């Protein structure tokens, strides 16, 4: 799947989860298609574990913040929480 298929303004999406499932459903990787998606725009059997894997190994929070104001605000507020 070309990089250009990824939405540049995720906050403008009416349903970001459905958009993610649609992208995964068109993946060249059969395991992504079968693990993450199921029929009828539903999540697949390994949706949560695959999302967790992606978040811990590939996702770049700083880059994501650059296109998501709500994520930027959330990260800022989490950073303001008292330690403990």
* pLDDT in 10s for each residue of the chain, 84 residues: 778 888 889 899 999 999 999 999 999 999 999 999 998 779 999 999 999 999 999 999 999 999 999 999 999 999 999 987
pLDDT of residue 2: 78
pLDDT of residue 40: 77
pLDDT of residue 72: 96
d(CA 65, CA 62): 5
pTM over 0.75: yes
CA distances to 44, 59, 70, 71, 80 from 77, rounded to whole Å, are: 32, 20, 11, 10, 5
pLDDT of residue 55: 95
């Amino acid at each position: 799947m070309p990089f250009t298929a990824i939405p540049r303004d995720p906050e403008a999406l009416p349903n970001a989860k459905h958009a993610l499932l649609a992208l995964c459903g068109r993946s060249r990787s059969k395991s992504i298609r079968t693990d993450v998606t199921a029929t009828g725009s539903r999540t697949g059997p390994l949706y949560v574990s695959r999302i967790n894997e992606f978040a811990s190994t590939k996702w770049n929070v700083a880059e994501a913040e650059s296109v998501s104001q709500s994520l930027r605000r959330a990260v800022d507020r989490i950073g303001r929480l008292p330690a403990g």
